[in-house]
Chain A
Amino acid sequence: MHEKSRIKGVILAAIVVLLVAMPGFTKEPYVLHILCLIGINIILAASLNVILNIGELNLAQAAFMGIGAYASTFLVMRLGLSFWVALPLASVITAAVSLLIGLLTLRFRGAYFLLFTFLFAELVRILFSNFWIGIFGGIPGITNIPKPRIDLGSIALITFDSKMEFYYLVLFLTMLTILILGRIDRSRTGMIFNAISQSESLVESIGISTMRFKVLGVAIGCFFAGMAGSLYAHFVGIITPSDFAVHSVLAPIAYVVVGGMGTVLGPVIGTSFLMALSHFFLRELGFYELLVYGIIIVVIIRFMPEGLISIPRMVSSWFAEFRPASR
């Protein structure tokens, strides 16, 4: 067991070193651009996964990302706050909104949370498209969103204008997210999240308020969705309401399901695999991309519900079966 976790640690460390050194191998802006998008999507997929962990599917995950994106641009462009303040603040605002929705819908058994988040995603799109156009920019959205910068007067000035600087920012925040979510997963709280998805009635019967932990799980998930949104807005520089509409949640669902639901590294593997596939190898897919995602979701859920992350375990169990025979 210890040997196994040491191997895992070495592999992870190697990947981190490789990622840090990545700009040394390629200065190709397209590659760095895609890697940044992959990082942002990993944060989004991981945030969706937190909520899947308590047994709920949040169809408004992209909408919450949108709330983070719009909140962050509002804070930076209207209130003149620094990006470094706006990023955490936008995440907190997103979590606060999700808290209200959680309190309203998680009281009921059944699919209320799911149905409600579906409606909420549509509501958010309508609000951003049709109301307070002076602030939200209507259907064309918001453009010229400024890039973050670190200005320490005479000591240092870092502008995040090039892809490379942004790459390191995204890398840092993605690793931080995974680290925090991994920590939560191993904590008592994570254990209870997990328990809720396995048997809500039993959790309730041993004196734990499932409502409280589900609301907490939703808020944690949406905090990181908001963070992904803020990062996305300042990275791409343009946001429109349709970026965060209901159909935008399909891709992250596919990432999580393909990688492995309910595991910390599943969303990382799934997002990297599918996005690298579609951007580096299937670039001419275009319109068919969403169709492919849909098919992948159905096939994986039906035939390989534990996702790619279960492959090593499956392989080792095959070997375990063969070994006694060969002896």
Chain B
Amino acid sequence: MEWSLLAQGGLNGIMLGINYALIALGLTLIFGILGIVNFTHGEMYMLGGYVAYYFFGYFGLNFLATLVVAAVVVGILGVILEKFIFRPLTTRPKIELTSLIAAVGLAWVFQMLAVIVFGDLDKHVPSAFKGILRMGGVVITVERLITILLGIALVVLLNLFLLKSKTGMAIRAVAQDKQAAALQGVSVDRISAVAFGIGCGLAATAGALVAPIFGVNPSMGSEVILKAFLVVILGGMGSIPGAMLGGLVLGFVESFGCLFFTVPTVMVLTFIIIIFILIVRPQGLLGHA
């Protein structure tokens, strides 16, 4: 095995991992705040991809501006969903179950609507950054390198926001203890909506970010949500660092696994690893008991 192949695998792993981490971060954020497993999350990623297809690929908007558009548009959609579908459910019994079922149904509606509106074929999004870099035997397209860097920047931004900003601190307070946060004067309703919007916007940004590399299609969301769930179990439900670590682990496992095995075998192996982790470390790699 040549080292350049391994380095190539490593770079791919990082790219996949950051992509998974971005989706899982939103998922874990929403779960931490609202206790909802947001099944529509994959569809937000998918919608982000289509924003890139139309705004960047079709209207020729600047790529970075496109990312912002994806985050804002889908973020607002998230706030609307939270306000009109999920929040009314919280006042009723069995909220975990009912919100989940609503989310499963919604995910399906979005995916089917995407098929109707956008068509069910793969759509190509032109690449935003041209050129390739060579370092020794390792070849990487500028596009992938920038995607990685932008992904890292987003993760850093989110962390800074959560750690430093007032809203970010309120979000963390609500995630830890709703009642205590409410006593401190935090509006739990507002924070829930904000967190939902941020989570959805993050997923959309991730979808838009990788659209030029992977293309877009209506089922891209349901494929990626599976990965995001793996990441969340790996990292621990509700844990932000866990989502980042879990994303990288899964990215590397897939990227290197595919060098040695077929795709179905990698999936089965990943699954076995998950079972092993659940037995040894039930709360996930970085989750709390």
B282 interfacial by beta-carbon distance below 8 Å: yes
**Are A302 and B89 interface neighbours, CB within 8 A?**
yes
B residues in contact with A55, CB < 8 Å: 94, 96-97
Q: Nearest Cβ in chain B — how far from A260, in angstroms?
A: 13
Which of A100-108, A171-179, A183-191 contacts its partner? A100-108
How far, in whole Å, are A253 and B107 apart by their CA atoms in the complex?
13
Q: Are A291 and B109 in contact (CB under 8 A)?
A: yes
A302 to chain B: closest CB distance in Å? 6
Query: Within B187-236, which residues are at the interface with A (CB < 8 Å)?
Result: 222, 226, 229-230, 232-233
0/1 string, A28-41, CB within 8 A of B gives 1: 00000000000000
Q: Which residues of B contact A298 (CB under 8 A)?
A: 85, 102, 105-106, 109
Contact pick for A119, options B101, B108, B109, B226, CB 8 Å: B226
Chain B hits for A294, CB < 8 A: 105-109, 112
Verify if B118 is at the interface (C-beta below 8 Å from A).
no
- Residues in chain B within 8 A of chain A (CB atoms): 31, 37, 85, 88-89, 92-94, 96-98, 100-102, 104-109, 112-113, 115-116, 222, 226, 229-230, 232-233, 237-238, 262, 264, 267-268, 271, 274-275, 278-279, 282-283
Q: How far is the CA of A126 from the CA of B282 in the complex (A)?
A: 25
Ranked 5 nearest A-B pairs via Cβ = A297-B105, A294-B108, A291-B112, A130-B264, A294-B109
Q: Are A112 and B233 in contact, with the CB atoms below 8 A? A: yes
List residues 81-133 of chain A with CB under 8 A from any CB of chain B. Answer: 104-105, 107-108, 110-112, 114-116, 118-119, 122-123, 126-127, 129-131
**Interface residue tally for chain A (C-beta within 8 Å):** 46
- The verdict on A114 contacting B88 (CB below 8 Å), with A131-B264, A198-B93, A294-B109 known, is no
7 contacts between A and B (CB under 8 A): A108-B282, A111-B237, A116-B233, A198-B94, A247-B222, A250-B104, A291-B113
CA distance A108 to B282 in the complex (A): 8
Please give, as numbers and ranges, the residues of chain B lying within 8 Å of A110 by CB-CB distance: 31, 237-238
Establish whether residues A108 and B283, one from each chain, have CB atoms under 8 Å apart when the complex forms.
Answer: yes
A7 to B77, CA, bound (A): 48
- B-contacting residues of A (Cβ < 8 Å)? 52, 55-57, 59, 104-105, 107-108, 110-112, 114-116, 118-119, 122-123, 126-127, 129-131, 197-198, 246-247, 250, 253-254, 257, 261, 287-288, 290-291, 293-298, 301-302, 305
Decide: A257 near B93, CB < 8 A? Known: A118-B229, A126-B268. no
Given contacts A198-B93, A298-B106, 8 further A-B pairs with CB under 8 A are A52-B97, A119-B229, A119-B274, A254-B105, A293-B105, A296-B105, A297-B101, A301-B101
User: Are A114's CB and B102's CB within 8 A?
Assistant: no
Q: What is the chain B residue whose CB lies nearest that of A59?
A: B104
